[in-house]
């Protein structure tokens, strides 16, 4: 198992480029199975989750060609299996979005409860209710879900919970359903709007993506097309927090600052100076005062940035409250942050207080999941001395060649 060895406590400086968004690219791979024609997917981050998705799709019959770095062609002229390979499906939460094209193309889909990060319960009732509303039959056997439908029929679906992959899956399911589907209480993340634009470019008729109500008028079939992955807002935000926490001057390039307004608010309140341009953000070293942060669905503060921002608060003056509203297990990683010297008080599974500033101590740490792993990386870059992060597969799931990119801005980090 690869490890990162880091010598922290140094200021960083320079430019860092943001990759394409993992959580947008993964959905484009699934959307490519809705058509028999080739789909070219560009600006794809070369991360482990993308490799798992490509592997999974190949087991279903379609061809996935890795044309060059960041570019893939998916040709799903054949889709001859209805089963999401359980071992991969259990590892990858995004595998659940494949249920839509598989059901549409084969009339059936069999899949395990999808996995991903260990951040909470992660139920799938939104999907099950949605498929039933569109006329599918759902059963469960030997730990696998089994959904069948000869032809999905348009319906009104009011999601009982705002779900990103739930909205994406139902939007895809409705694209070729008979009649009109109205989706209410949808998630509004930029990745959803981007997916809808791509589907429309292939012939779908989707209106309202990016708002809470999406209306999909069913079309006969979709053609092929090209999808350009939008910049990863979580990666851009992570780099901005890294710069602020290590008091470094970093220019984050190739990002979409508009997707991160809630983060800019938090950083500015914390005293961080920012120069925000059209596709770039410069973070200028500054003194830090604490802020309260509450995660929320887009356009609120992203849960995926909760762990990095906790590290930032350990470096800020005063006591800040972090309220994680989306996942009940996503603050547990702070136990290890405490062992690094952070002054963290857990009030309940959703709320912690962080008293700063504290000097973090270097440490040998296990990366429990993707975003917490990246937060540890920020923490050890703040801490003077040698630290080791184990299980970096978790970080590789979502951040492309992170050590190489961090080295370019002066970080002392090695993969061994």
Q: Which stretches of the chain bind ligand EPZ, using CB under 6 A?
A: 23, 26, 93-94, 116-117, 120-127, 161, 163-166, 187, 303-304, 326-327, 370-371, 398
- CB of 288 vs ligand EPZ, minimal distance in Å: 25
Nearer CB in complex with ligand EPZ: 23/290:
23
Structure tokens at 126: 């939104």
Please name the residues in contact with 345: beta carbons below 8 A apart, sequence gap of 6 or more. Answer: 352, 353, 354, 355
Q: How far is CA 1 from the centre of its chain?
A: 23
- CB of 220 vs ligand EPZ, minimal distance in Å: 29
Nearer CB in complex with ligand EPZ: 248/297:
297
Pairing, β 293-294 against β 343-348:
unpaired
Residue whose token pair is 């999601």: 159
290 and 322 in contact (C-beta within 8 Å)?
Answer: no
Q: How far is CA 75 from the centre of its chain?
A: 25
Count other C-beta atoms under 10 Å from residue 397's C-beta.
23
Pairing, β 213-217 against β 180-184:
antiparallel
- CB of 315 vs ligand EPZ, minimal distance in Å: 23
- CB of 92 vs ligand EPZ, minimal distance in Å: 8
Structure tokens at 15: 């430019």
Nearer CB in complex with ligand EPZ: 12/392:
392
Nearer CB in complex with ligand EPZ: 324/403:
324
49 and 92 in contact (C-beta within 8 Å)?
Answer: yes
The single-letter DSSP state of residue 120 is S
> Is 117 noted as a catalytic residue in this protein?
yes
Count other C-beta atoms under 10 Å from residue 331's C-beta.
26
Nearer CB in complex with ligand EPZ: 8/373:
373
In terms of Cβ atoms closer than 10 Å to its own Cβ (0-12, 13-18, 19+), residue 257 is buried
Nearer CB in complex with ligand EPZ: 322/370:
370
Q: CA–CA separation, 144 vs 167, rounded Å?
A: 22
- CB of 127 vs ligand EPZ, minimal distance in Å: 6
- CB of 257 vs ligand EPZ, minimal distance in Å: 19
The single-letter DSSP state of residue 9 is -
Q: How far is CA 165 from the centre of its chain?
A: 10
402 and 16 in contact (C-beta within 8 Å)?
Answer: no
The single-letter DSSP state of residue 185 is S
26 and 56 in contact (C-beta within 8 Å)?
Answer: no
Angle subtended at Cα 98 by Cα 120 and Cα 131, rounded to the nearest 5 degrees: 80
- CB of 297 vs ligand EPZ, minimal distance in Å: 7
Nearer CB in complex with ligand EPZ: 29/327:
327
Residue whose token pair is 């547990």: 332
- CB of 398 vs ligand EPZ, minimal distance in Å: 6
Choosing from 117, 188, 255, 382, the catalytic residue is 117
Q: CA–CA separation, 204 vs 187, rounded Å?
A: 19
Nearer CB in complex with ligand EPZ: 101/116:
116
Active site residues: 117
């Amino acid at each position: 198992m690869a490890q990162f060895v880091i010598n922290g406590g140094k200021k960083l400086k320079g430019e860092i480029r943001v990759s394409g968004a993992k959580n947008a690219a993964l959905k484009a791979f699934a959307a490519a199975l809705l058509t028999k024609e080739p789909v070219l997917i560009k600006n794809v981050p070369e991360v482990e989750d993308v490799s798992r998705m490509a592997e999974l799709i190949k087991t279903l019959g379609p061809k996935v060609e890795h044309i060059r770095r960041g570019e893939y062609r998916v040709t799903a002229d054949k889709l001859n299996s209805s089963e999401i390979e359980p071992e991969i499906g259990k590892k990858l939460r995004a595998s659940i979005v494949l249920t839509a094209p598989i059901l549409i193309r084969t009339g059936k889909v069999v899949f395990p409860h999808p996995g991903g990060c260990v951040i909470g319960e992660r139920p799938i009732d939104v999907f099950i209710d949605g498929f039933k509303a569109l006329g599918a039959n759902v059963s469960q056997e030997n730990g696998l879900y089994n959904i069948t439908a000869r032809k999905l029929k348009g319906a009104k679906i009011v999601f009982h919970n705002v779900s990103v992959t739930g909205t994406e899956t139902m939007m895809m399911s409705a694209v070729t359903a008979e009649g009109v589907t109205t989706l209410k209480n949808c998630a509004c993340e930029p990745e959803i709007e981007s997916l809808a634009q791509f589907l429309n470019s292939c012939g779908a008729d989707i209106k309202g993506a990016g708002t809470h109500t999406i209306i999909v008028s069913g079309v006969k079939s979709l053609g092929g097309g090209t999808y350009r992955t939008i910049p990863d807002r979580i990666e851009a935000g992570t780099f901005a927090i890294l710069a602020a926490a290590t008091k470094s001057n970093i220019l984050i390039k190739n990002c979409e600052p508009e997707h991160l307004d809630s983060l800019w608010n938090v950083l500015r309140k914390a005293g961080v100076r920012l120069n925000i341009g059209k596709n770039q953000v410069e973070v200028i070293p500054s003194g830090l005062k604490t802020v309260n942060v509450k995660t929320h669905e887009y356009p609120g503060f992203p849960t995926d940035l909760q762990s990095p921002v906790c590290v930032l608060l350990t470096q800020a003056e005063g006591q800040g409250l972090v309220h994680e509203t989306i996942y009940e297990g996503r603050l547990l990683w702070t136990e290890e942050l405490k062992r690094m010297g952070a002054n963290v008080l857990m009030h309940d599974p959703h709320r912690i207080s962080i008293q700063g500033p504290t000097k973090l101590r270097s440490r040998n740490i296990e990366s429990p999941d993707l975003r917490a792993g990246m937060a540890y990386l920020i923490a050890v870059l703040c801490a003077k001395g040698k630290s080791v992060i184990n299980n970096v597969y978790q970080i590789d799931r979502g951040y492309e060649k992170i050590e190489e990119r961090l080295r370019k801005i002066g970080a002392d980090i090695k993969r061994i």
